[in-house]
Structure 1
Amino acid sequence: MTSNTGSYTYEQAGVSIDAGNALVKAIGPLVKATARPGADADI
């Protein structure tokens, strides 16, 4: 078994927290438009 000697940041792994937050903000109105009984459409 090999050991993990290094660590990566989210950014180094190709993850953008800012882009993810922007996506959530952008799709918020679309999510709310899908509201129906029994579903939580808040995001």
Structure 2
Amino acid sequence: MSEVGIDDKNFKIMAHKACRGGILNGYKPLIEEDVEKIYRMCL
């Protein structure tokens, strides 16, 4: 993400939008905090 100019200041908002305020369903359901952690690992 840092290669395209994305930093961590908006991760909380991005995670909220990805989960639409709830749970992101998939192979393993993810909550906003999980998604935010994944974003941080991508830096």
Q: TM-score, normalised by structure 1?
A: 0.30
Larger helix fraction of residues: 2
Higher relative contact order (CA 8 A, sep 6+): 2
Mark the structure with the bigger radius of gyration: 1
Q: TM-score, normalised by structure 2?
A: 0.30
